[in-house]
Every structure is written in structure tokens, then in C-alpha cells.
Structure 1
Amino acid sequence: MNILQINSSARSNGSESTRLADAIVARLGAAAPGASVTRRDLAAQPHPVIDEATLQALFTPAAQRNAEQAARVALDDALIAQVQAADAIVIGSPMYNFGITVQLKSWFDAIARANVTFRYTENGPVGLLTGKKVYVALARGGMHRDAARDAQVPHLKAFLSFVGLDDVQFIYAEGMGMGPEAVARAQAQADADINAVLV
């Protein structure tokens, strides 16, 4: 089994979403001895955001790209290759201002590639990253689950499905900004949910 872990918190240390992602990866690894784990910390290794130069590089045919354009596209190619090689993907995703982090958005932008990770058909888009299990560890300061203000989970579901990642399990840790007792409850519940899901 090849496991890909994506940590998208702006914090390299002390992130609850990363703690939960680590716990999920540990359980997956224990169930599959010899599993290979690739970790990408998007705070320690930030991926460049899309700008005009990036768009020009992406829309220039490969044979016509200059060295700078080829190097920029190669950064995205490397992330795509990691996803393609993974059997299981674990994403640590804290909620920032009701949505995903800019770090995760940049990763999404990198792996969304027409005719590589999705394609358009007469019946609409079809995701090409099929046959993979995805676990998303969510950390929130407040209580947002199933609330209209939660733009994070709908975004995650929509994007992951768009590229063919339809088998997604969410683990929630909510109330992380509501005091020590709330944090303890959230962590205990999230840990219990991991144990229940990864039997």
C-alpha cells in the first residue's frame, strides 16, 4: 500500500489536523505492514500559487515551453505523480475562516489537470483518480458540522469528486477554540472515530 499524507495547516508544529492525520496514517500502516508513506507538509514545503506566468506555462504545449515554464509545470507534475501512485490519501485540513487553507487550495490547483486527473466528456467532467480511499482530518475552532456556514466540507467533497476521489471519510475535531474541556472532548471523539473507521 502507498499512503500519501497531505498536511495543509499553516502550522508546522501543534496542528490538530496534522495530529489526526498522523493517527490515521499510523492506523493504516499498522493494518498494512510494509506500507510506503509519503508525507508532504504544505507549510514546510509551500507550493506556489497560480499566477499569470503559471497559466502561460500550463497552456503552452510542452515542446514549446522555455526552461522556466518547464520547471514550473514540473512542480505540479511531481504532486500529480504522488497522487497517482497513492492507494490511500490522508489530508489534514484545518478550517480557516469557514473554508480550506490557501496551502490546500494551491495543492488542489496543482493536481487538477485536464486529461490527466480529469477529462471533459459530452456528459460532463469525469475524474481519473479512481480506486483510492481518502481520509480527511478536519480541525475547527468552533462547531460548524452540517451548518450552512461550513464552506470547507462542500468544497472538499466537490473537488475530490471532480478528480475521481469519491470514497472519502471525514474525521471531525470541533470546538478546538472553545477551551481546554472542549478540546479534550473533541480530541477524544476524533480519536474514537478514527478507531471506529479504521477497524
Structure 2
Amino acid sequence: MKTILHIDSSARPGRSDTQAHGSHSRRLSAKFVESWLAARPNDTVIYRDVGTNPPTPVTGDWIHAAFTKPDDREDWMHQVLTESDELVDELLRADVIVAGVPMYNFGMPAQMKAWIENIVRVGKTFGFDRSRDGLPYWPMVTGEKSIVVLSARGDFGYDPGGRVAHLNHVENGVFSPLEYIGITDQHRAAIEYDEFGDDRTAQSITDAEAKVANIITELLIRHADTSTVAGAA
């Protein structure tokens, strides 16, 4: 069995295929999970909706607690790290992280950034030792984990090589910190033209859903065990 960590970060409720003005990124992430479970119905899904229930932002107390050795932490330090511990545990349990991350002002939603700040943890997901030869940092997340970022954009041309690709800080904003802690298998798909509301929007939705299907097929093979990979389309 595999575990999927399904994250949504859109402030919009609902999915654009079931609700007027619903979220495109929620639509893509839900379709990913539905298709995955159609192929592997016995797998586990952990759902985390940071869009409607955002993690607590990092504070000075959080930093103080995180950089204190576990055996030296006071009770309040364990308490302030409780939510972060839970988020890290979910991440470590997952084989595939699929995250719906819409573009807000060229970057990810603040709710998603708060999730990242909580899971990039010294001593938990990355190591740090000033006396270490070479760089004092190293990734601590092991195993064959994959990250899939499913986005949505009002404009178009944000994919690599596109007309405004240099303004897109969404996918790399997620990929870079996860790569830093050890998750290097990266996949992406996005719906564009949302603000146009015409045939281009509809075509972009079709193209993004097809790309999601292709990602699922690839990941089912990558993470295959004794389960069937049939029916992944």
C-alpha cells in the first residue's frame, strides 16, 4: 500500500467542475486522487486543506523551540511545535504529495507557504551541523517520494519557456524547499486563461487534465508494488 498526501491551498471553496466559481486547483488535485484510487483502491489518502485551515505561521517562539535540542526543550516548546510535528509526520508517511497550489500575485498562497515553513524542520527534515565537512546542511527525508504541484493561473504563458515564465514563483517555490529536504521527483500541471473565460480556458482545462492523467500513469509505474496499475487514465 502507498500513502497519498493530498493538500489544497486555494482560498476558493469547491471545485470548478462541480461549483460555479469553484477552484481549478482543487479540481485538478481531486481528479488526481480519484484517478489514483481507481487504480489503487486500497491506498491511503491523508487530506490537508490548508486553504480553509491554514497552519500557524512560524514565530520567534517556534524558531527558538525548533532549534533547541529535543531533550533540552521545555514543555512550552513541545507545545508550540505540536502542529508542525503533525504536518511533518504526514509528510514522512506519504509516498506521493499532490498539492493544489493556485497562483496568487505570481506566487503561492500564504497558507501554502505556512505549510512549507512548518515542514522544513531542523533535525526532522534537514540536518544542520556547523562542524560538518563541506556544507553544514543535508536532507533527512528518505525514500522514493514524489511531489506533484497542480496550479491555476488567471493569465497564460507561465510554463517554462512561456512569455511570462520569469514571473512564475509557484512551482519552484514548492519544489525548492522540498528538494532541499530530500524530495526530488517533481511533476507539474496547470490550468491557465482563467480570467479570459472563453474557449482558451476550456482547452487549457482539457490539456491540464490530460497532463494529470499522464503524471498519474508515470507515478503508478514509479511507485508500483503488487497492486495493479490498470485503469490509470
TM-score in same-fold range (> 0.5):
yes
1:110 maps to which residue? 118
Counterpart selection for 1:145 from 159, 167, 171? 159
Aligned 8 A contact 2:65 2:73 in 1? yes
2:89 maps to which residue? 81
1:198 maps to which residue? 216
Query: Deviations 1:95-141 (Å, cap 9, x if unpaired)?
Result: 11111111111000100011211124534333222311221101111
SS in structure 1 opposite 2:167? Answer: coil
2:173 maps to which residue? 155
2:132 counterpart of 1:129:
no
The whole-number CA distance in structure 2 between the counterparts of 1:73 and 1:20 is 31
Aligned 8 A contact 1:12 1:41 in 2? no
Aligned 8 A contact 2:9 2:52 in 1? no
SS in structure 2 opposite 1:95? Answer: coil
The whole-number CA distance in structure 2 between the counterparts of 1:119 and 1:79 is 18
Query: Deviations 1:27-72 (Å, cap 9, x if unpaired)?
Result: 2222222011110000222111112222233234445544443222
Q: 5+ unaligned residues in a row in structure 1: which ranges?
A: none
| TM-score (normalised: structure 1) | 0.91
The whole-number CA distance in structure 2 between the counterparts of 1:97 and 1:77 is 30
Q: Which amino acid letter does the alignment assign opposite residue 117 of structure 1?
A: T
Aligned 8 A contact 2:7 2:99 in 1? yes
Aligned 8 A contact 1:4 1:39 in 2? yes
* Structure index of larger Rg: 2
Cα RMSD after superposing both structures? 1.7
2:62 maps to which residue? 54
Residues 46 and 116 of structure 1, relative CA distance in 2, 3 Å threshold: same
More strand by share: 1
Aligned identity (percent) is: 30
2:109 maps to which residue? 101
1:170 maps to which residue? 188
Q: 5+ unaligned residues in a row in structure 2: which ranges?
A: 15-21, 218-233
Residues 128 and 28 of structure 1, relative CA distance in 2, 3 Å threshold: farther
Q: Which amino acid letter does the alignment assign opposite residue 194 of structure 2?
A: M
1:2 maps to which residue? 3
How many pairs does the alignment contain? 199
Residues 77 and 142 of structure 1, relative CA distance in 2, 3 Å threshold: same
Alpha-carbon offset, residue 179 of structure 1: 1.7
The whole-number CA distance in structure 1 between the counterparts of 2:145 and 2:202 is 32
Aligned 8 A contact 1:57 1:69 in 2? yes
Q: Which stretch has the larger CA shift, 22-31 or 74-83?
A: 22-31
1:33 maps to which residue? 41
